[in-house]
Amino acid sequence: MTTIPGTGPNLRTDTTPLDLERLQVAARAVLDWLPGEDGTGLSAVRFEQITRHARVLADAGVHATPFAAMRAHALTVRNELIVLATEQSLTLAVWFDDALGLGALHGRAVTADPAELPG
């Protein structure tokens, strides 16, 4: 949320069932891909973090609420994929960008939900 009166969010914050489905598809793709990444320098802690957040997204119902919680899980997975920086992880991060409407960030890690930053 912003504390500046009259300032609205700088990206779309509403959600549709399609948005949630796209996040679920991306999360399931991550869960399918991760087990094969065992020997690529992915620590057990990072593996667990990505898996835990992706599983929440994958298991969410089509009408999962609040969407802010889903965004938080998705941003965590996305950032971890960017840090991992393999061809496949970056491709999957773009899927999350697309579902979250983050295309303007050009692959940078997100330290705060852009929906909560002043325009």
pLDDT given at position 10: 47
pLDDT digits (tens, 9 = 90+) for 19-58: 888 899 999 999 999 887 665 667 888 889 999 999 999 9
pLDDT given at position 1: 42
pLDDT given at position 114: 53
pLDDT digits (tens, 9 = 90+) for 58-115: 988 765 666 778 888 999 999 999 888 888 999 999 999 888 877 655 555 565 555 5
Q: What is the DSSP string of the chain?
A: ---STT--BSS-----HHHHHHHHHHHHHHHHHGGGGTTTT--HHHHHHHHHHHHHHHHS-TT-S-HHHHHHHHHHHHHHHHHH--HHHHHHHHHHHHHHT-GGGTT---SS-GGGSB-
